[in-house]
Structure formats: C-alpha cells, structure tokens
Structure 1
Amino acid sequence: MAERLLSASPRGLDEVHRSPMAALWSTGEPENWSAGPRSGYLWWPAASGLPQPRSWQDASERRLAAGLVFDRESVVLHTDALGLHELNVRRLGDALYFSARHDPLVELDDTPLHVDWSAWANLLLMTTPIGDQTLFSEIKHLEPATAWRATGDRLERVGFEASWLAAEPDDPPSPEEMVDLIAERIPHRAGPVAIGLSGGWDSRLLAALAARRPESRLEAWTTSTDDGLDLDIVCARTVAEALGLPQHVVTPGRESWLEEHREVWRRTQYQTLHHGWAMPYARAVHGLRGPLIDGCLGDALLRSRGDHEEVPLAASHEQARKISWDVMSGHVPRHEEIWAPGVVDVLTDLGLSSFHRVMRPVEGHHAMPILARLVSSRGIFTSPTWLLGPEAEVWLPFAHPDVVTNSLRVPLAERKDHAYYLAMLAYGAPNVASLPSTNDPGEKPAPGPQRKTTPAALASIIEDIAGCEEVRAMLGPRLLGTLNDPGLRARQAQWTGPLYVLQWASMLARWHGEYRSRISWEPLV
C-alpha cells in the first residue's frame, strides 16, 4: 500500500519519520517539537513565532497546524482547529492512510470509489464541500479540531472543543483593540514584503498596518478578479498611491480563464469554483523574493452579513441554521428549466442536511453565522494554500488564533451595517478608509465581458458537459439548449445563476472524466 501511496504522490518526497506505528513522507522538512514525553511534527502552521506546542490540541489550536504527534503509547494524526487544511484520510483494514492530495488515496487499491453527492451539492450551494466531505465517499477530510489516534492495535477518532467557542460577547474588543491585535500578528521580516492588494477592505487594512512600520519595504500586487468591471484594479490603485506603495498589476489575457481554469481546478482538487481567474496572479507572485501578505478570512470573521440580524430572532436552532444556509446558498438558481426533474430538490436536501449536521455542535452559539462562514471558508483557503502556495510564502494575519478568538467575541449587533469594520478602518487605515472600495453599497456599473464568458471559454464549458452523458442527464432544457446553440449560450452567460450552474456541471464532467476508471457512478436521481 505504501508503495502505491508514494507512486501517486508529488515527486521529491523524503522519509521524515518511520516507527512501528507510523510513517511520514514530506516534500520539505516539517517543523518538529518536543515537550516531555511527547514529540511531533507539524505542517502548514498559520501562526508562527509562538512557543512550541505541548500537545496535539495545542498545535491544532494555537498554531492552526496539522501534524503527527508521538508519545510512549500512541501516535496522533491531527488537523487544525478550523479544519481549513487539506488533510485527507482513507482507512483500509487496520491502517489509516493520509495525504494532502486525493490522488494518492484514490490509488491505494483497485476497489471502485463512489461519488459523494453531498459534497457535490455543497460545492454548488456552499461553494465548497463541508465537514468531512471530499468528492469521494471513501476519502474523508479531517474536520475542525479532530484527530485519529493509534494505540496498539486500536484506531479511534478523537476531538476537542477549541477555546474560541467559549468566547463570550460580554467584554468584546473595541475596534481599536482588534486593529492593534491584527497589527501585532503580522510578522516582522527584514527585506521586501508584498501585499495582495484588492479593492476591498481586508487588504487595505493590512497594507496600511504593514506600511507604517519603520523598516517597511512593502509593495502591492493586484489583479483582475474577472468580474467584468475591474473595480479591484481601479480601487487598489488609489489605495496604493495613498499609501505610497509601488504597485504591480497582473493583467490576465483575454483567454486566460480558458487557458488556466483547469489548472486551478487541478491544484484545488476540484473543491471550489472560486479563483478561476487567479492563476496568472499566482504565477507572478511565485517569483517574489519575500513573503506575501494575504487577507484571507478577514471578510468571514469581521464583516456584517444578511443573516446577522435575523439569526438572533430565530424561533429555534434549526431555524437559525436554515436562515444562515439560505443566505449562503441563495446564489444558486432553482428554476425548473435549469435542472432535470428532481435534481435540484435532491441537491438542496443533501446540502441543507449536511449543513445542519456540521453546524449542530455549535447550535445556540452567539456567533453562529460567523462560524457558518468559517465552514464555507474551506474553499477560499485553497487559494493561499494551493494557488499562491506552496511556491510563495504566504502570511495570513486574519487566520491567527488570537484574531479568530477575539473576532468571535464581537456581538452581531455591533457589526450592523459594517459599523465595527468601518471603525476598524478609520483607526487602522485612516488615509485610505474612505477611498472607494468594492464593498461600497449602491449600484455598480454595468459589467463588461468576463474572460470566463468569451466564446472560446463557453465552448470549452459546453464541450465538457456534452461529452458526459451522466452530467447532461442532470440538466434541464434551458441549459441543454446551450449545447447546440451558441446564441442561447451567450445569453445564459449574461446571468450569474445559469453561468454558475454551467461551470459546476463542467467541473463535474471534467472530474468524472479524470476519475472514470476509478469511480462507480450512481445517478443522483
């Protein structure tokens, strides 16, 4: 089994550890630690510069890392306390195999694997699989704050409750205290440092905080997010000028979505429809001489959402969860002509049922909508991990455990109309707080052409779908009509909903084609 695991893994693996109970291979040297009778390795730490952990729970929560921990009697494989890292497992007999990538686990044996339709439902509705889902039923993603422990011939799942779940809103940090905390969690590094500067609030706050350091050699990197407006480039330019930062703008070519989206899907393991535009930017920052600061998770942790006012008024925990789910899944069209009979109903039931299951352990928590956003942030987290990284060193100040804990102490009421975040900006980035941003309310200009809607890009999407009978059977007449009618295809692409479903169907068809010989396909309906 180990030979098959290694042969399907990336090249350049070295054996880091071998003992009677565990073996570990890695493309780099993981951080190691020891504390009394315990020792371990950890990888992907989101928080650096902290004292070494003393247990797997400590490594999971205080470093937001995955790892392998040994003591005299057991071995523990753990993930981070937010469940954001891609640590996947497959159990065969009395052995547990783990990998960051799915393919090594797929190729462990010749047994057919099965489609996890709940994962595909959430990929559509929540933009990413959630909980322990991967696209394969037999391969599981380690959930937040969980681990597998091997003791003798016994293998068991274990977990703990992260301390931030006990955070109460009775003594919340002020916006000024939150900003100071975030500033302290941006590492100090001599030499050049880059900031991924978009048109939103998260990156401009981090840019302002990093730029005010006396030793700062900060430069900004910006790209188009393929929204048909290029507001990110326009807004980021004014912020960079106000902060006195040199700015590099990566302008993707007209057919860059067509040329790059399959590489994005491959690198993110088909687990998100986000970031199809990001590969030219990622390739550019791979050549940076220093680290890149990224604003990942700031939006989820600190901004106000449509469910923040309604959830506290819900009559039951189930209703509260349903309110958040409705807000987060409202981007998906459910018209009869979009879907074949029964398909969207089954997908909706699967998605909502799994959301209830994942969120039930935190029912009644005062910050439940924020925790729900963190569940869906797994897909967003693939960008700094698998597109910008591993080639680039990426800093994620908002993902620091202290920032997570304190953000959950901020009452939902204080976030109304983004008041809390606007106060943070006024304090931490006063010279750019009022500059135009992509978060500003009001109508946006009519969007222009998007790179994912060029005739060649749409033809590529349709080619994937047309070549997969199993996926075609899931679509309704309106979308099936686009297979042979370029004019109808172009009209559907003017609307976010049908285009999103076409992209999802294209991804499903492409995944099915790649793994056709390894999966046993059972129709959804």
Structure 2
Amino acid sequence: MIATSRFLLWLPRPGKTPDPAWLRRWQSVAARAGLEAVEWGPLRLAVAPGPAPRPQPPAVPIAVLDAWPLRLPHLPAATGPVDVRWAERHAQMFNLLRWDGRQLTVESDAIGLKPAHVAETADGWLMASAIADILACEPALARPVDPVAIQFLFIGRGIWEDRTVHQQVRRLKAGAVYRWTPDGGLSVTRERRWQLPVPEPAMSWDDFRRQQDAQITRLMDQTLADRPEPLALSLSGGYDSRLLASEAAARGVRPLALTFGAAHTREARAAAEIARILGLPHRSLPYRRDIILGQLDRLSDWFEGCVDVSLGQAAAVEDFGLPPLRMIQGFAGDVIAGSFTARLKPGDDASLDAIARSIVGYYWPTAPDFAGVIGLPADREALEASVRADLGDDSPPVSAFIRWCWEDHLRRYTCGLLVASQSAADLLMPYYDLDYVTFWARVPMEGLRHRAWFKRWFAERHPELGQVPHPEALDQMIAQTQPARAVEWVGRQCYKVAERLLGTPRLAATLRALGRTTYIYDGPNLTSRWHQQQIFQMMEDYRPILRQQFGLELQPDYIPALTDKRGKNTQPARMLLTLAAYAGHLHRTLAPEDRTVQPAERPETARQKAEAAS
C-alpha cells in the first residue's frame, strides 16, 4: 500500500491512444505539484510523498490510500488486504484506490470528507485530490461555471452534492464506488451510500438511555484505544464537545482543551468553566484580525471555492504554537442530537419533493439578488430539483433528510475545518460513525425536538457539567463559583442597560460593527465595518479576474444587491469574497506567466456616490 495526501490520476478512454504532448503536460503538472509518478499498469498515477518508503520495481502497489497528511504517520502497517473497512477504522476520512491488474476501484469515506474530484476529457478521465491539478491538465474545464453550485454556495455557505464551481469538474459522490476497466471505461454506483432507518415511536426513554450509554462508551474507547499523544480537544462550550471532554477525563486522559474565539463570548466562558470542573489544561485564543483577509490565497488553495472562506478560522490552531498533535473534534451535534431534524415543519416529511422544498426554503432567506451582484439569475426551482435528485428514491423522507444533513449540510463545515487544520492537527471525530448515526436516526421525534433526550441523558451521566448552561441559554449565568458569578452578573447588568438605551437590534449592529459580538465565530466571519470595507475594496481588484476565469460580471452597483432577504449582507459578502478569491487563486496558479489581465480602475460604488453627494 502507498499512503499519500494528494494524488493525480488519468484513466484512458477505451481504445484511445494517449497523446504524447498531453502526457508531457500531465507529467509537468504532477511535477509542479510535487507528486511522484507510480507505475500502475495502463494508468497514469502520481502521488505526494508519504511517510513510508515507496515499493521498489517490479512491485506494483495494490492500493493507494489518500488521507489527511497528519493521519499518515499514525496508520498501522497493513498485514493483509487494504479495503474500505480497514480504511474506515484507521484513516476515517479517505479515498482508496485499488488496482488488481484488470479493474481500478475508487471508494471514499461514506460522507466524502476527504475531497477528491473527477472530470471527463476527450481522451479519458482525470481524478485528483485538488481541482487545480485537473484544471492545470485541462484549462478548458474551468468554464462554464455551474450556476446551481454558485447559488448553493451563497445560501448554504458551501457547495452541496457532487458539484463544484466548475460545471465539468465534479466531486466524488458521497457513498459512491467508481470502477474503471481498460475495455469498459468508467462507471459509478452509489452502493456504499448510508441507508438509515426511520424514527421508532415505540423507543422508550430507558431504551434510549441504555443504547446511548453503550454507543458513547464504544466510541470513546475506540478513539482513545492507542492513547494518542500529544492530544488536544476542541472545546467550544456546547454539549457535544463537553461530552467528549468529560468522557476523556473519566478515562484518565487529560487532553489540552483549546477554545478558538474571543474570550468574552459565552462559548469561551462556558468552555473555561467546563475545563475548570474537569481539571483539564485550557487555552483560549482570540482570532487575529487578518485570520481570513491576510491569507486569502492560502485558504483558496485549500477550499477551492467550495466552502465559506471564513471557515479558515480553524487555521488558528497554528497560532497556539503547538507541535503537530491529534485533536478530538465533536462537531456533529446539529444532526446526532436532533436540533436540525427538529426544523422540519408539519407537512415537510410528506414526500421527498416536500423535503427538497423544505431544505431550499430553509436556506433561501440568505440569498442575495444574484442578478444584481454577478448577473446570474436566481433559480430556486433548479435548486429544488437538484436537491430532490440527490435525495434519491431509496429512503423514506425523514431518513433521506438525515442522510442529506450528513452529506451536505454538515460536510461543508467539517471539510472546511479539516482542510484548514490539516497542517497542524489530525482531527479525531468520534461522532462520524455509521452505527452511532443509525442509532440517532431511530430516535423518535419527541426525543429529538430541542435535544430533549440528549440533555436529559447528559444531565444524568455528568450532573456537575449539566449545571453549566449551554451558551445559547442567554438568561442563565455560566460561572458556577464566586466571585466569577459576581463579575458575570455585573457584565450582564451593563449589557441590559445598553440594550435599554439603544434597543436590541441597534446594540447588536453596533457590536457587529466593532467586531465584538457575543457569538464566538463572528471575528473571522468578517462582520466588523473594517472587514466589510476591505472586502468591497478587494472586490474591485477581483472584478476583471472574475470575468476572465468564470465569465461572471460583477455589477457596477452590486453592494445594495448583496443584502439578503433577512436584510443582512454579511454572509453574501463573504460568499462573494470566497468566489472571487478562488478566481484570483486560479489566475495566479494556473497561468503565472500570463499577466495580461490587470485590475481595472475602480468605478464609483454606491457608497462612494452617496458620500460624494453628501
């Protein structure tokens, strides 16, 4: 087996002789990306160097495992065939390529957390970890852009399904198996896609408690089986991370608890209180002002326009100055404990069509005026049709919805966190487990709403931690000891006075403008007035590059059109920056010698016109 973190693969079309000039370009792209060619029969494969020595000719590797770079040193030696079960156990997030001399098989983790992409060309198919490697081989694949994918990006903070910004480049489908033979070409099935059960109204509280106990015990024993060191834990103050922290402490493991975000936020204060109760070392790190704007090209290289660039907040783990470590990550509570499923309204689960309309309808209020921003007409029906097609016809509505949550709603966050932290931390994610997901899919709706059963179970299993309110419970004090409670009480009184003087909306707007809101992620989410001004200034530089790379025309008076249906423009501005920064990244990396397109002279924006008029 070869273990790698990046690959580039070319599969010839049956009966097609590869063009020597094209092969030289493929070799040049692989070399420029730092990839090494591997002899693999009629295939053309190049991989990033891994921690293990390469097999020497004439040995032909049976399998290539593409995983996150800091996971590679922890992979055990394979004593037998490497299959998806082995990869799921040891790599968790992966792409597995196997060649037996007659057939190539490509499989991924069932949710698709390790990105890989595929594109069809005149001579065959390209597969790669990075979209940029595919586009470097075939620049024409960059256009046209996918209008549905771009609308998904704006409303969902990430591109759903197997789409990318580029219509001809696709992400490997979740739960798919790709097979290629020299005579038959490439085919794909969804045979590894999760099949989840329906909620069981007959499940009792006692049944739930017993099974939840067993599941959590199994997951934590499995996660900590080899006592990974050095070990950290991402502690946000919510229920999911505090559960992992308490279970680790109960097993005699004391991970370093890390909290990202401003210390004055309720999340950070709750995390500090939980760490104090458990006796865990704790460090809190506020985000640098330039955590996003200061490294746009780096983030675009990682995210390739597929997720909100502000998820680069995870790169702040490097600012702790720690050695490469393994970090337990508990992000998944939206799905496993029911808070997202509870968003289904009466009638939404009547059919798969109704589920698709409900999904798009939930996110649609965050949509800006697409035509007024980039000249792209909004098409809600196309989005609903795409979601409906992706739901499939193999599951009942609620089960299909839960699966969609994992494959699309949750993946966009998780992939961003994984990609941005890959150089500093190997993330261990116990909740991403099919048996555990299946268990939660069976929980009746009465136990899911408001996370009722999870909260009750947690309070019984960890009563002292259950006394610390969730950060979203704004009417309860977090501190459990004096004089911390007195200090918190004074702060709350000051906030209430300001709220009475300014009003809640105005106070919230003022805090956002200052970049000091009560929400822990608002720093990197570019909410301050300074950040907004920087974005609008950058967009004028990106205007000609958006046109050249994607054929999108940034409208002259686009700023008012960014306001979404909620009356806010923060998220649409971030998504526009995500798209534009990716275009700029492609402009620099795919054709570094071409500098024919220069930033245009900045036209007057609506804001400048208003200032001039005043």
TM bracket, shorter-chain basis = 0.7 to 0.9
Cα 1:28/1:61, change in 2 over 3 Å: closer
Q: 1-side partners of 2:360 and 2:395: how far apart? A: 13
The residue identity in structure 2 corresponding to 1:473 is Q
2:117 is matched with: 88
Q: 1:274 to 1:466 in 2, by over 3 A?
A: closer
Question: Which structure has the greater CA radius of gyration?
Answer: 2
1:292-371 alignment to 2 at 5 Å? Answer: 292-305=327-340, 307-310=342-345, 314-327=349-362, 329-333=363-367, 340=372, 346-371=378-403
How far 1:292 sits from its partner (Å)? Answer: 0.8
Comparing 444-453 with 217-226, which one deviates more in the overlay?
Answer: 444-453
* Among 118, 129, 144, the residue aligned to 2:148: 118
Q: Is the 8 A contact 2:256 2:281 kept in 1?
A: yes
Quote how far apart the aligned CAs of 1:455 are.
4.4
Partner of 2:163: 133
Answering whether residue 89 of structure 2 is matched by residue 18 of structure 1, we say: no
The SS at the match of 2:259 is strand
Q: Equivalents in 2 of 1:48, 1:169: separation in Å?
A: 36
Contact 2:180 2:187 in 1 (8 A): no
Provide the residue aligned with 1:486 in structure 2.
none
Q: Secondary structure at the match of 1:156?
A: strand
| Distance (whole Å) between structure 1 residues aligned to residue 186 and residue 85 of structure 2 | 19
CA distance, structure 2, for counterparts of residue 509 and residue 370 of structure 1: 32
Does residue 478 (structure 1) correspond to residue 560 (structure 2)? The answer is yes
C-alpha separation in 2, matches of 1:93 and 1:332: 39
Displacement of 1:454 in angstroms is: 3.8
- CA-to-aligned-CA distance 1:152-201 (integer Å, 9 cap, x gap): 23222222434741535446753323322332332331543100111222
CA RMSD between the two structures: 3.8
Q: Secondary structure at the match of 1:217?
A: coil
Cα separation, 2, equivalents of 1:420 and 1:89 = 42
Q: Deviations over 1:437-458 (max 9, x none)?
A: 2343769975423242444422
Query: Any idea what the Cα deviations from partners look like across 1:409-456, whole Å, max 9, x if unmatched?
Result: 333332112113213422454322331323437699754232424444
The AA in structure 1 aligned to 2:217 is D
Output one character per residue of 1:13-68: Cα deviation in whole Å (capped at 9) or x when no partner: 34455323452413325899xxxxx9423233899889989685646766553111
Aligned length: 498
In the TM superposition, what whole-angstrom CA distance separates every residue of 1:199-249 from its partner, at most 9, and x where no partner exists?
2221111111111112x13111111179xx622211211111111111111
d(CA) in 1 for partners of 2:581 and 2:303?
Answer: 14
What whole-Å deviation, never above 9, does each CA across 1:303-355 have from its counterpart, x for those lacking one? 3226555266643321122123322x145045x6x852996862433332221
Aligned equivalents of 2:162 and 2:214: distance in 1? 35
1:258 aligns with 2:293: yes
- Residue 174 of structure 2 contacts residue 193 of structure 2 at CA under 8 Å; is this kept in 1? no
Identity percentage over the alignment? Answer: 18
The residue number in structure 2 matching 1:402 is 435
Normalised by the length of structure 1, the TM-score is: 0.82
- Between 1:390-399 and 1:257-266, the stretch displaced more is 257-266
Partner of 1:419: 452
Distance 2:433 2:137 in 1: 35
User: How far, CA to CA, are the matches of 1:419 and 1:28 in structure 2?
Assistant: 46
Determine the C-alpha separation between the residues in 2 that align with 1:357 and 1:286: 46
* Equivalent runs, 1:206-217 vs 2, <5 Å: 206-214=244-252, 216-217=253-254
With a CA cutoff of 8 Å and minimum separation of 6, indicate the structure with the bigger relative contact order. Answer: 1
AA in 2 matched with 1:504: M
| Residues 286 and 303 of structure 1, relative CA distance in 2, 3 Å threshold | farther
Q: 2:569 aligns to what?
A: 498
Pick closer, same or farther for the CA change 1:408–1:3 going to 2, 3 Å: farther
Whole-Å Cα distance in 2 between the matches of residues 164 and 31 of structure 1?
35
SS in 2 for 1:128: coil
Q: 1:488 aligns to what?
A: none
Q: 1:251 to 1:187 in 2, by over 3 A?
A: same
TM-score by length of 2: 0.71
